[in-house]
Amino acid sequence: MSSKFKKVRNSNIIIREIEQKDNAQIEAAIRWCFHEYEIPLVGTAYEDAETPRMFESYQNKNEVYYVVELDGKVFGGAGIQPLKDFETEVCEIQKMYFAPEVRGKGIGKPLFEKCMEAAKAFGYKQCYLETIPNLKAAIHIYETFGFKHLEAPLGNTGHNACGIWMLKNL
């Protein structure tokens, strides 16, 4: 991926682009959140084929995945990809999950900002996301960044268990 997206530091926390060696750790962080927050496993990112191979899944044009690293270990991340089966100027912020070790350390907003900067740099005009009601902290971050609630989903993410859909003009 491009070097134009620099690392962000917060204490011992680093936000950086995913590397192949991060696959198992980011998969574990993502899957842990589903059990911790009692998120449905079916119809969500939990069953996505890309979840075990996140590095390989974010290597195409106009997409990037960032991981949150603390003391050399990956504890979360988020990424940008084109919204599947939708307009080419709309991206989706995907798989934004954090293990407990990095929650409450002020890393959600810088990671989100980094994703929004990447989306703009890639030329997207809008950013879409899907989530579930019990992820209240995440929804608050999305609203803070100007995402507006939608009545129905966009594109074809395959995440039919998500009941909240949001969109933001970039």
CATH of the domain at 84: 3.40.630.30
Q: In which domain, by residue range, is 82 found? A: 8-169
Domain-located, residue 137 = yes
Domain-located, residue 76 = yes
Domain-located, residue 13 = yes
Walk along the chain (170 residues) and give the pLDDT tens digit of each residue: 333 344 444 568 899 999 999 999 999 999 988 888 887 787 778 888 899 999 999 999 999 999 999 889 999 999 999 999 887 899 999 999 898 888 888 888 899 899 999 999 999 999 999 998 888 888 988 999 999 999 999 998 888 788 899 999 99
Half-sphere exposure of 65 (CA within 13 A, CB side): 25
Domain-located, residue 98 = yes
What total of structural domains would you count in the chain? 1
Alpha helices in 18-135 (DSSP H): 23-36, 54-57, 108-121
Tens-place pLDDT, residues 9-39 = 456 889 999 999 999 999 999 998 888 888 7
pLDDT at position 8: 47
Domain-located, residue 36 = yes
pLDDT at position 5: 41
Domain-located, residue 45 = yes
Domain-located, residue 1 = no
Joined tokens for residue 90: 């709309």
pLDDT at position 35: 83
Q: Which of 56, 48, 45 is nearest to 97 (CA)?
A: 45
In terms of pTM, does the model score above 0.95? no
Domain-located, residue 2 = no
